[in-house]
Amino acid sequence: MSKARGAPRRVLAVWCPDWSPDVPDAGPEARAFEQVVAAVAEFCPRVEVVRPGICAIGAGGPARYFGGEEALARKITDAVAALGIVCRAGVADGLFAAQLAARAPPRDPAGASAGTGTPGVIVTPGVIVTPGATPAFLAPYPVSVLGVPVLADLLPRLGIRTLGDFARLPVADAANRFGVPGARAHRLARGLDPRPLTPRQPSADLSVHIDFDPPAGQAEPVVFAAKALAGRMQAGLAARGLACVRVQVQATCADGRDITRLWRHDGLLSALAVAERVRWQLDSWRASQDAGRSDPERSGPGMRDPGEASPAGGIIRLRLVPDQLVRDEGRQLGLWGDAVISDRVARAATRVQAMLGHEAVMRPVLAGGRDPAEQVTLVPFGDSRAPLLPAGRPWPGRIPAPAPATVYPVPLAARVTDDAGDAVTVTGRAEASAPPARLSAGGGPWLTVTAWAGPWPVSERWWAAASARRRARFQLVTGDGNAWLAAVQDGRWLIEASYDLTVDATASC
Amino acid sequence: MPPGGRIPAASGMRPGGCVIPGVGLPSGDAALCGTDVLPVLPALRELLPGGLQRGSVVAAGDCSLLCLVLAAGASIAGGWCAIAGLPDLGVVAAADAGLDPGRLLLIADPGEGWPQVVASLLDGCELVLLRPPARPSAQVRRRLEAVARRHGGVLVVAGDWDGAQCRLIVARQEWTGIGSGHGRLRARLVQVVADGRGAAARPRARWLWLPGPDGAVAVVATGIGGLGIGGLAGRDGETGGVASPWRGMSAG
């Protein structure tokens, strides 16, 4: 069977209705699907599992061997049915159409309506769409089958309700208007493959390494080699059209220890920049080694041997492992909105990360929430993350401005008493037992309360037992001029924040 | 109020250096390039005539909000700020003071090698706010001062720093808006005293709203006597019921 170059290959999809689409990829149900995959693999070893419930094989070769696509589909459904599992098989051009063909409504097996359907469609236990008939087969489907929520919403409002309508749009217009996902969906609607079928096979090892013999005692040769190594890694990725989100730098010492750190890459780092990160990693590791060794040695009379450059006997192997591979689709900076981080700032932040670790340098993102501690989400420099609680919502009951300048991630335990020295309590009706007169925060000295307000009760997330919380909040001003945000929870006083804490007070806390 | 306080805004300023940009001004490194002072908020102009000299060290005492307000001017003008050694910092308060959270780096614990961390940060950021984990030795101090001079960054120290070019302390403070069981915290009057070396040698004291009733930092116009804290508190007492943050049991 000759095939025009670039035409989508014939794909046979097997669909088992017993697996619902929302089964997670890992779990007992997903593992149970393995027996179906094994049965299909008897006919063709390269099976791609689309998700638990649907798998696919390239139909060209097996169909020739088993006497045609219809015979192949029948043999596969019989084999799976022998396992006691209901399944249907569909053959079409491309994976997307084959999945729809497998799930197409069954026609009358007697063939009464077989001739009346779309021309070129043969009815079997499943549906077989003859080569070239795929666009016609797809045309009546609604655009929602594309599985792109944005398009499913937008296209009908533009009057494009079926895949046929969508496929009639000029390719360039579809790509211009709907971007990369739109262009991909347009290919699907035209009966083309958005990507070739990827059979399950061991993924190629894209990591690169270099050995040092004799071990490299100084950082310089390692960094120099890292530059060439990074170039090789990037060439290997580019040849496969991939980019990595992170790169793992792994340096092995002669004594067997590994110095491993993950660096954000995003397909943006040049070979030189990767080499620079290798240098920071080695520098910070060496600094930590020196700090660990210096104390016992400084006390002794003998200083460290200056000739011994590397504490662990030198580096014998440097390995770069691309992590989280993604298809390289290029990168476009936003015209507006994205805070552009200058190279200078990025370099300083990354250096500090090299010294203290990735999580040591944070960028704050303002979030929603009622507590001062909730209203900020900290994101490690170089990552992007949405705030935990959405900002810009009303959050009734949130602490009013001014915001406290010191917020304790873990509230301090406190004691609050009235004039008589008894602990102040809050009743179920949110009334204080007595005016607070004295405060001791975090075991600190007793301070006179000069002004106070509250209690303001808050009952949050009562529907979730794990995170439910009832608090009564107070604002207290103490004689030293400081103001505190205090709360009573389960009968205990907590200091959640301080409006402006002096450094001395934290030291005493 | 010392007589030196009424320094006309233009004197002692370098051209271009002390333009106090409003929030709407275009931000970016370009706004700060080529100047040898970092701008400060208008309310601090009388305390720090000319702004923050690049390469200098400013000790801002124990008041963390004062430190944030000092850093706000540079952040509004488009500079990057790093805050090291303040793990409990209230970022919302920082944002209210004028610091842009998008141009803020937080290093909660700079660790044992904090001088090296601060030196790296001074290389990248216009302003570094630091609470030293330990009292720095004279050698460390001199080294960081040299790094600040070399990179043109400003080091604001929460605490004391021997040899700081400028020193600000909160001498007195009083919260307003809160009574005995009524009202809520609304504003704070603080008396800030600034002194330093060289041109800044003469101590200057100013009463500031830190923060003011509208959340902004402002100079108190007529001093504390004319304002009457009691009157303010009384007003808040009346509106306290309406403006109470508690508006019914929240569910969610």
Interval A107-149: pLDDT, tens: 544 443 433 444 444 445 678 888 888 888 888 998 888 888 8
Q: Are B50 and B13 in contact (CB under 8 A)?
A: yes
Residue A262: alpha-carbon gap to chain centroid: 15
Confidence of residue A315 (pLDDT cuts 50, 70, 90): confident
Residues A125 and A183 in one domain: yes
| Residue A474, domain extent | 406-508
pLDDT of residue B122: 93
Instruction: Tally the C-alpha atoms within 13 A of residue A409's C-alpha that lie toward its C-beta.
Output: 8
For residue A274, give the DSSP letter.
H
Q: Which two tokens stand for residue A61?
A: 């070769």
**So where are chain B's domains?**
9-166, 169-240
Mean pLDDT of A4-10: 58
Return d(Cα A102, Cα A79) in angstroms, integer: 16
pLDDT of A3 above 50? no
Give yes or no: residues A495 and A382 share one domain. no
Provide the pLDDT for residue A203: 55
CA gap A472, B249 in Å, rounded: 11
Grade residue A23 by pLDDT with cuts at 50, 70 and 90: low
Question: Of A485, A369, A411, which Cα lies nearest the Cα of B250?
Answer: A369
Is residue A305 assigned to a domain? no
Taking CA atoms, B217 is separated from A489, B48, B96, B211, in Å, by 34, 15, 10, 5
Query: What DSSP designation does B31 have?
Result: G
Mean pLDDT of A403-428: 89
Average the pLDDT over A260-272 and give the result.
Answer: 70
Say if the Cβ atoms of B107 and A460 lie within 8 Å.
no
Residues A354, A368: one domain? no
Residues of B in contact with A372 (CB under 8 A): 90, 92
How many C-beta atoms lie closer than 10 Å to residue A401's C-beta? 17
Same domain, A459 and A369: no
**Residue of A503, A504, A509 for testing the chain B interface, max B β-carbons within 10 Å:** A503
Answer whether A194's CB lies under 8 Å from A188's CB: yes
Q: Which residue has the higher pLDDT, A223 or B249?
A: A223
- State chain A's mean pLDDT as an integer: 77
Q: Which helix H or strand E contains A319, and what residues bound it?
A: strand A315-327
Query: Helices A171-189 and A149-157 sit at what angle, rounded to 10 degrees?
Result: 120
B110 CB within 8 Å of a chain A CB: yes
Task: Verify whether the Cβ–Cβ distance B120 to A348 is below 8 Å.
Answer: yes
Strand partners for A264: A246
Q: Does residue A275 surpass a pLDDT of 50?
A: yes
On whether residue A208 sits in a domain, the answer given is yes
Does the pLDDT at position A338 exceed 50?
Answer: no
A80 and A177 fall within a common domain: yes
- Side by side, the strands of the sheet bearing A10-15 are A48-51, A54-58, A10-15, A88-93, A126-129, A121-124
CB contact under 8 A, B211 and A402: yes
Question: Do both A323 and A280 map to the same domain?
Answer: yes
Chain A closest-CA separation from residue B222 CA (Å): 22
CATH of domain B9-166: 3.40.50.300
Q: Six-digit token pair at B175? A: 């919260």
- In the predicted model, is pLDDT for residue A388 greater than 80? no
For residues A379 and A427, state if they share a domain. no
Residues of chain B with pLDDT under 50: 1-30, 223-252
pLDDT band for position A303 (50/70/90)? very low
Q: How many domains does chain A have?
A: 4
Q: What percent of chain A has pLDDT over 90?
A: 7
Q: What is the pLDDT of residues A85-99, one digit of tens each?
A: 888 888 988 888 888
**Cα A163 to Cα A190: distance, rounded to the nearest angstrom:** 8
Cis previous bond, A402, omega within 30: yes
Residues 9-28, chain B, touching A (beta carbon < 8 A): none
A367 contacts in chain B (CB < 8 Å): none
> A496: left (phi > 0), else alpha (psi -120 to 50), else beta?
alpha
- Greatest mean pLDDT among A46-55, A105-114, A456-465: A456-465
Complex ipTM over 0.85? no
Distance from CA of A475 to the nearest CA of B (A): 7
Q: What is the pLDDT of residue A341?
A: 66
Residue in chain B closest to A472 (alpha carbons) equals B246
Does A306 fall in a domain?
no
Say yes or no: A230 and A253 in one domain.
Answer: yes
* The residue type at B103: R
Count interface pairs A-B at CB distance under 8 A. 199
Which residue in A172, A174, A160, A167 sits closest to A188, CA to CA?
A: A167
Question: Does residue A84 share a domain with residue A18?
Answer: yes
Q: What is residue B246's predicted lDDT score, i.e. its pLDDT?
A: 36
pLDDT at A380: 83
Q: Let me know if A71 is exposed, middle or buried by CB neighbors in 10 A (0-12, 13-18, 19+).
A: middle
Does A4 fall in a domain? no
Residue A259 sits in a domain whose CATH number is 3.30.1490.100
Return phi, psi of residue A94, to 5°.
90, 155
The span from the CA of A389 to the CA of A378, in Å, is 12
What is the total residue count of chain B? Answer: 252
Give the Å distances, CA to CA, from B26 to A338, B31, B72, B77.
14, 8, 15, 8
CATH at A124: 3.30.70.270
Q: Which residues of A touch B135 (CB under 8 A)?
A: none
Top-confidence residue, A302 or B125: B125
Q: Are A185 and A275 in the same domain?
A: no
What per-residue confidence (pLDDT) applies to A384? 67
* φ, ψ at A59 (rounded to 5°): -90, -15
The neighbour count for residue B239, using CB atoms within 10 Å, is 13
Question: How far is Cα B212 from Cα A330, in angstroms, rounded to an integer?
Answer: 48
- Kindly write down the DSSP assignment for every residue of A199-232, as one continuous string: ---PPP---EEEEEEEEE-SHHHHHHHHHHHHHH
CA distance A198 to chain B (A): 41
Nearest to A372 among B92, B131, B182 (CB): B92
Chain B positions in Cβ-Cβ contact with residue A454 (cut-off 8 Å): 181
pLDDT at residue B147, as a whole number: 93
Angle at B214 between CA B212 and CA B220, to 5 degrees: 35
Q: Is A434 helix (H, G, I), strand (E, B) or coil?
A: coil
Residue for token pair 């700032």: A345
Residue B31 to residues A143, A313, B37, B79, B102, Cα–Cα distance (Å): 50, 49, 12, 8, 16
Long-range contacts from A482-490, C-beta under 8 angstroms, 24+ separation: A482/A447, A483/B175, A483/B178, A483/B185, A483/B188, A484/A439, A484/A441, A485/A372, A485/A399, A485/A404, A486/A414, A486/A416, A486/A439, A486/A454, A487/A411, A488/A424, A488/A425, A488/A426, A488/A455
Which of A14-28, A205-219, A301-315 shows the lowest mean pLDDT across its residues? A301-315
Same-domain check for residues A388 and A436: no
Q: What is the pLDDT of residues B169-213, one digit of tens each?
A: 888 888 889 988 889 999 998 888 888 776 656 788 888 888 888
Query: Nearest-CA neighbor of A322 among A263, A244, A383, A250?
Result: A244
**Does the CB of B174 have a partner CB in chain A at under 8 Å?**
yes
Which of A157, A189, A221 is the last residue before a domain boundary?
A: A189
Residues A438 and A370 in one domain: no
